[in-house]
């Protein structure tokens, strides 16, 4: 009896944006999963506080976001 197999690519067509944008610690290079805190600032700017679980180093990142249009029916 013949066997059939499907060949699939191991390259993701659209990589997960969360997984690809996560920082690593600049001191010990440990990967970080979640920010310790976040704050919405002015002009659609979000600030994240990161603290490394491995060495304790902390830093802040800032990201701008697109405003969401409000649609009224």
Q: What angle do CA 32, 66, 64 make, to 5 degrees?
A: 45
Number of domains comprising the chain? 1
Task: For residue 13, tell me if it sits in a domain.
Answer: no
pLDDT of residue 14: 52
- Confidence (pTM): 0.60
Task: Read off the pLDDT of residues 17-44 as tens digits, 9 standing for 90 and up.
Answer: 555 567 889 899 998 888 999 998 888 8
In a domain? residue 38: yes
- Residue-level pLDDT at 54: 93
In a domain, 35, yes or no: yes
* Torsion 41-36-62-33 (CA) sign: negative
Considering the domain boundaries, does residue 36 fall inside one?
A: yes
Closest CA to 47 of 36, 56, 31, 55: 36
Tell me whether residue 4 is in a domain: no
In a domain, 48, yes or no: yes
Domain of 40, in residue numbers: 24-64
């Amino acid at each position: 009896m013949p066997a059939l197999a499907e060949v699939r690519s191991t390259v993701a067509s659209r990589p997960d944006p969360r997984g690809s944008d996560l920082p690593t610690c600049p001191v010990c290079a440990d990967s970080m999963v979640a920010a310790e805190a976040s704050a919405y600032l002015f002009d659609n700017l979000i600030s994240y506080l990161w603290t490394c679980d491995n060495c304790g180093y902390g830093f802040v990142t800032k990201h701008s976001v697109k405003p969401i249009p409000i649609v009224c029916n």
